[in-house]
Amino acid sequence: MGKEDVVVKTDEMSASRASGGRQVLRQPAEVLHAQELAHLRESDRDERPHGWTLSPRAVRAFILGTEAAKRSKSGPEPVRRKFYGDDPLVDRCIVTLMSNRGLLLVGEPGTAKSMLSELLAAAITGDSTLTIQGTAGTTEDQIKYSWNYALLLAEGPSTRALVPAPLYVGMKRGAVVRFEEITRVQPEIQDSLISVMSDKVIHVPELEGDDAVVFASKGFNVVATANIRDRGVHEMSSALKRRFNFETVRPIDDRALEIELVRRQTDELLAGAGIQVQLPPDVIDLLVTAFNDLRRGTTDEGIVIEKPAAVMSTAEAVAVGFAACLDAYYFGDRKLTGEHIGRQLIGTVLKDNADDGKKLAHYFDVVVKPRARRAGAWDSCLIARKGAPW
Ligand SMILES: Nc1ncnc2c1ncn2[C@@H]1O[C@H](COP(=O)(O)OP(=O)(O)OP(=O)(O)O)[C@@H](O)[C@H]1O
Ligand SMILES: [Mg+2]
Alpha-carbon distances, residue 54 vs 43, 45, 165 (angstroms): 10, 9, 25
Rounded to the nearest whole angstrom, what is the distance from the C-alpha of residue 225 to the centroid of ligand 2?
A: 7
Distance between alpha carbon 263 and the CA centroid of its chain, in Å? 16
Mean pLDDT confidence for 357-371? 94
Ligand 1 within 6 A of CB of 109 = yes
pLDDT category of residue 67 using cuts at 50, 70 and 90: confident
Ligand 1 within 6 A of CB of 341 = no
pLDDT category of residue 128 using cuts at 50, 70 and 90: very high
349 vs 130, which has greater pLDDT?
A: 130
pLDDT(166) > 50? yes
Ligand nearest to the CA of 315: 1
pLDDT(5) > 50? no
26 vs 119, which has greater pLDDT?
A: 119
List residues, by chain if needed, whose CB lies under 5 Å from ion ligand 2. Answer: 114
Rounded to the nearest whole angstrom, what is the distance from the C-alpha of residue 306 to the centroid of ligand 2?
A: 26
Among protein residues, the one whose CA lies closest to atom 15 of ligand 1: 112
Rounded to the nearest whole angstrom, what is the distance from the C-alpha of residue 259 to the centroid of ligand 2?
A: 21
Provide the angle, in degrees to the nearest 10, between the axes of the packed helices 314-331 and 338-349.
130
pLDDT category of residue 76 using cuts at 50, 70 and 90: low
What ligand 1 atom has the least distance to the C-alpha of 313?
9
Ligand 1 within 6 A of CB of 272 = no
pLDDT digits (tens, 9 = 90+) for 103-122: 999 999 999 999 999 999 99
The per-residue pLDDT for 354 is 82
Amino acid identity, position 191: D
What ligand 1 atom has the least distance to the C-alpha of 181?
27
Alpha-carbon distances, residue 300 vs 77, 371, 374 (angstroms): 38, 11, 15
Name the average pLDDT for the chain.
Answer: 90
Among protein residues, the one whose CA lies closest to atom 23 of ligand 1: 110
Measured distance CA(380)–CA(363) in Å, rounded? 15
CB neighbour class for 96 (10 Å; exposed up to 12, middle 13-18, buried from 19) = buried
Ligand nearest to the CA of 118: 1
Measured distance CA(310)–CA(305) in Å, rounded? 14
Mean pLDDT confidence for 219-225? 97
pLDDT(219) > 70? yes
Q: Which of 23-27, 169-173, 242-246, 294-298 has the lowest mean pLDDT?
A: 23-27
Ligand 1 within 6 A of CB of 363 = no
Rounded to the nearest whole angstrom, what is the distance from the C-alpha of residue 70 to the centroid of ligand 2?
A: 34
pLDDT(86) > 70? yes
pLDDT digits (tens, 9 = 90+) for 286-324: 999 999 999 999 999 999 999 999 889 999 999 999 999
The per-residue pLDDT for 15 is 39
Measured distance CA(351)–CA(342) in Å, rounded? 15
pLDDT(77) > 80? no
